[in-house]
Structure 1
């Protein structure tokens, strides 16, 4: 564990003559088409690490290895710490994210503690000590910037490698900033002869942190390649669109209500008397965010990035299924044109095991564990078929949530014809059917028994059904299943049932919606705002915002005001980015977490055998979110004792 406040550890890292720097580094850049394939050798000293190009490159991959593995539910904080996915506590007990979700975060045992590298409260975790990653980046940048080192490294490659390390250093600061708010900026490692005063660093004001990270991203972007040319060996390395995309996310976060003029932080000052988060709103931050998002979009599109559309295959799929496959495979199709940053250090095999639902009595439950369960409120979040929220559609009546309806020919590609399921499962938008499985829903994959989307797989999920929860400890707790994260090639085979993919850290759809959001806040609902949100909606099989609201909403002029468009964009973003770990952070930056994360977690009665039992709503958990305390992570008590210059976050 690295601790900025602890002099002993600072000395340790300055003296680092480690044999384990590369031995402990098992970067999983392997086996997934053109992922980086690096198995570092032992290197005795830091000096030796920067004598030859080959060894220096291994150290660069040391810097990469600290990128959090967001394709793993243990590391992707946003997946289980909020309200988007609930889990089976028997199959997955004692997970730190769940402790956060139910309000058990504490200063004594800080769960998902990226500051100290202590993920679960039990001790430091490999590759989760983000400040450790920053220190390695600093070592690399300093060493490789010295042209007396790595003499067999040509100038252009040297420049690029330094830019990669600069990006990683900026990204790690951003990752901490999003969690903790104001943080210490570690631009250079603390020297061995540092005094106690130098070691006891201060948290820097939030806006200063943003400026530092933004400038570092700009510096790196100037020297990064526009795209990867050596796709055999370098896919997964950082490019200019990635750096610009993270800058857009940084500045959008900084412009959002949590950090832009939040009165809750009026008394949040340090011992120098500095206000750590400004309580004065600055509208210019939204202009900067919009400019950054547009620059990122233009950079990505210039090298061929576009929204992913699934191509017609030999089975002549219906338009309904093609749209659903476009939505699903935008996330799971390796290196597709929409994914700007794919993280090959984070595999998705286990994630797919946890999401997948058995599709027949022959399915092996250990290969389709179905233990990650979206709550009922997430199912209700998706639009109607008319592209507006359920409670706004003036043409459809969904009645009570427990009302039932029989599948008809119009829904046959989404719901088994003649099957009775909940009324709220009918007349919904394509993303509802693409992303979620439920009792009676279809699930098309490449191994469809009919070889087409006619008579394809169907989920039957009452307790004793093949998809149900009568399977020992491997059970679903809400009656909803995550289809979005399952690659279409999944098979019920004990030999490589899942084709893994690098976790999509950044998609073009994400940037489109960030740009629409920032531009609306800066300028109101301009045609440009509508254009970018409508691009995402078109891929999802929906009409544009203006047409949908004008025609179907009880509030037809909603999109014509900044406030109304803000609500529409927020809703659109929660739908489009669902199950990718974004909702958790978006609710925070919008200051909506206190509203959403104090609602009950509900689902169908998964122990129900007959319709009358199964289609009853049960409450699984009453979440607890305390504002403003829970908007930011606490700093551990031990860290505060070691460094009296650090201020605790408000409420802790």
Structure 2
């Protein structure tokens, strides 16, 4: 914690010095400190803007967890990582070898740095020379950001040390015990309630677009309460630890169905704002609205985003060698591929779906074509007037399986089809930290768990499937089975989340909160070896790729051992 204090103060100095960075200006520099920063309106606003800088650090597709970086998709059953990263913490995670001494400390360090930075601003809020209305909004933004960083800690570690508004100094006692899961969650919800009251519904395309709105605050509440109602936290901790003191840090000791009602109310509070819709397209191509969501900086589906300038960073991470990227970072597993049903909405395991294992990529859920690059998929290529096929079959060239991709696939999620690493235009994308599709899925899940498979649950899923380009069918159920039981609908919702929210930092947490990671992730993941025959047809053989190991303690991350040494009052999570 002492290190975080020094880093926070240093960051203020470095950031503020960049505000007037003309090195040719020979004027005497002003000493920058709390007084000079927070008595200046511009510097105060920019200081708050700087707190936004790490809101995506858990979501990030190239999150710091080893050389090169990769997202949490690589620690789940979504996609494999490249083999050039032997020191990656992801490899330790999936091998069951993560521990308190080798854990990636980025989450712990960055979150507490940002929380302290927020507290520093709140300590000086009365000095900030802006209008009363702007100051009220700035304080609300800060409180939400503090809640956001605390929730990031909560989902990794369980209950953690709450600092309140206190700004700790080097001489303070920093040996602070962890708060319980319930106390941490309630603190986050309380901060959200305060922030929501003082934030606007939208910014109407003004330069402030991208700042936190009331909808973003309510959406965080929706996510937090959905997690809290889920089996792992809602009375399910006993299989992780029987220690009553540790149990309090990780969840509720009792299972209470009313927590699902709270989660439902929170999701419907976002829906009832009438501010958000699923993004649609003027194109008649099935699923175009889904695809275009991720190439637009501004759209009415985004609730909370990490803003970016025009970029090609997703292409630089995911594209294949033939498109200029010799170090792609994501290779979807066959398990991810098989989760996509058919265009008629039926799963590939359904005899009526029309799935053909000898022609496996035809007539699939349109979202499949915007998420997975498979053998024969079309992809923009510099120097060609039309999209060109990507071939990953054995012997096909630079993109073939075993040379680069370990699974026979590349990731297409969030990529702009007019851009590649080596050519094409940049896109106005940003990182979708919370979008409306998630809220509809949150509402569907909570409603089903509390009331069963009601008409409302069907409606929420149908909205998403219709936008996805799935055909309605004669019954207008978009492939959903009529009169499902709660258990059947639960399975449908789980798969819908997996497909709709793929590679957006949901799957890793979903299988944990559902308490199914021991079945889902404790196995060898697979890919697809494709061979081309002399007559031009293909054969498809499922192959083993990477063994994943999951132990009960892995539902939570270990607190870094270096922090336990500095603050013995912190209790380590069970199993570490």
TM score, norm. by length of structure 1: 0.78
Q: Is 1:592 the counterpart of 2:504 in the alignment? A: no
Q: Is 1:20 the counterpart of 2:13 in the alignment? A: yes
- Equivalent in the alignment of 2:550: 625
Within-5 A mapping of 1:188-203:
188-192=165-169, 196=173, 199-203=174-178
Contact 1:73 1:79 in 2 (8 A): no
Q: Is 1:214 the counterpart of 2:189 in the alignment? A: yes
Change in 2 beyond 3 A, CA 1:63/1:11: closer
C-alpha separation between the residues in 2 aligned to 1:375 and 1:509? Answer: 23
C-alpha separation between the residues in 2 aligned to 1:578 and 1:42? Answer: 49
Residue of 442, 448, 458 corresponding to 2:389: 458
C-alpha separation between the residues in 2 aligned to 1:441 and 1:274? Answer: 49
Is the partner of 1:649 in helix, strand or coil? Answer: coil
- Equivalent in the alignment of 2:23: none
Contact 1:462 1:614 in 2 (8 A): no
C-alpha separation between the residues in 2 aligned to 1:274 and 1:490? Answer: 49
C-alpha separation between the residues in 2 aligned to 1:643 and 1:247? Answer: 30
Contact 2:4 2:112 in 1 (8 A): no
- Give 1:476 deviation, angstroms: 1.6
Residue of 347, 357, 361 corresponding to 1:389: 347
Is the partner of 1:341 in helix, strand or coil? Answer: strand
- Equivalent in the alignment of 1:481: 410
Is the partner of 2:277 in helix, strand or coil? Answer: coil
Change in 2 beyond 3 A, CA 1:393/1:647: farther
Q: Is 1:374 the counterpart of 2:332 in the alignment? A: yes
Is the partner of 2:349 in helix, strand or coil? Answer: helix
Deviation per residue, 1:336-367 (Å, 9 max, x gap): 22112221169863332222246xxxx5533x
- Equivalent in the alignment of 2:370: 434
- Equivalent in the alignment of 2:215: 241
- Give 1:43 deviation, angstroms: 6.2
Contact 2:374 2:392 in 1 (8 A): yes
Within-5 A mapping of 1:448-597:
449-450=385-386, 456-465=387-396, 468-469=399-400, 475-490=404-419, 493-494=422-423, 497-543=425-471, 547=475, 559-597=483-521
C-alpha separation between the residues in 2 aligned to 1:52 and 1:604? Answer: 59
Is the partner of 1:342 in helix, strand or coil? Answer: strand
- Give 1:480 deviation, angstroms: 1.3
Contact 2:305 2:430 in 1 (8 A): yes
C-alpha separation between the residues in 2 aligned to 1:244 and 1:445? Answer: 42
Change in 2 beyond 3 A, CA 1:614/1:106: farther
The range that moved more, 435-444 or 159-168, is 435-444
Is the partner of 2:303 in helix, strand or coil? Answer: strand
- Equivalent in the alignment of 2:67: none
- Give 1:246 deviation, angstroms: 0.9
Residue of 358, 365, 376 corresponding to 2:324: 365
Is the partner of 2:83 in helix, strand or coil? Answer: coil
C-alpha separation between the residues in 1 aligned to 2:144 and 2:377? Answer: 43
- Equivalent in the alignment of 1:150: 128
The range that moved more, 605-614 or 575-584, is 605-614
- Equivalent in the alignment of 1:31: none
- Equivalent in the alignment of 1:287: 261
Change in 2 beyond 3 A, CA 1:448/1:538: farther
Deviation per residue, 1:488-542 (Å, 9 max, x gap): 3315754x64325111111111111111111111111111111111100111122
The range that moved more, 258-267 or 340-349, is 340-349
Contact 1:10 1:190 in 2 (8 A): no
- Equivalent in the alignment of 2:163: 186
- Equivalent in the alignment of 1:84: 78
CA RMSD across the alignment = 3.2
Q: Is 1:105 the counterpart of 2:98 in the alignment? A: yes
Is the partner of 2:526 in helix, strand or coil? Answer: strand
C-alpha separation between the residues in 2 aligned to 1:85 and 1:621? Answer: 10
- Equivalent in the alignment of 1:259: 233
Residue of 295, 307, 322 corresponding to 2:278: 307
Change in 2 beyond 3 A, CA 1:637/1:371: closer
C-alpha separation between the residues in 2 aligned to 1:327 and 1:81? Answer: 25
C-alpha separation between the residues in 2 aligned to 1:618 and 1:276? Answer: 37
Is the partner of 2:54 in helix, strand or coil? Answer: coil
Is the partner of 2:299 in helix, strand or coil? Answer: coil
- Equivalent in the alignment of 2:180: 205
Change in 2 beyond 3 A, CA 1:291/1:449: same
C-alpha separation between the residues in 1 aligned to 2:86 and 2:241? Answer: 39
Contact 2:219 2:439 in 1 (8 A): yes
Deviation per residue, 1:170-200 (Å, 9 max, x gap): 000001001111111121225448764xx32
Change in 2 beyond 3 A, CA 1:498/1:191: closer
Change in 2 beyond 3 A, CA 1:546/1:142: farther
C-alpha separation between the residues in 2 aligned to 1:73 and 1:17? Answer: 25
Which segments of structure 1 move beyond 6 Å, counting only runs of 4 or more? 444-448, 606-614
- Give 1:133 deviation, angstroms: 0.3
Residue of 44, 48, 69 corresponding to 2:32: 44
Contact 1:22 1:42 in 2 (8 A): no
- Equivalent in the alignment of 1:132: 113
- Equivalent in the alignment of 1:32: none
Q: Is 1:327 the counterpart of 2:290 in the alignment? A: yes
Q: Is 1:351 the counterpart of 2:314 in the alignment? A: yes
TM score, norm. by length of structure 2: 0.88
Is the partner of 1:164 in helix, strand or coil? Answer: helix
- Give 1:595 deviation, angstroms: 0.9
C-alpha separation between the residues in 1 aligned to 2:548 and 2:420? Answer: 36
- Equivalent in the alignment of 1:412: none
- Give 1:394 deviation, angstroms: 3.8
Contact 1:245 1:511 in 2 (8 A): yes
C-alpha separation between the residues in 2 aligned to 1:19 and 1:275? Answer: 33
- Give 1:72 deviation, angstroms: 3.4
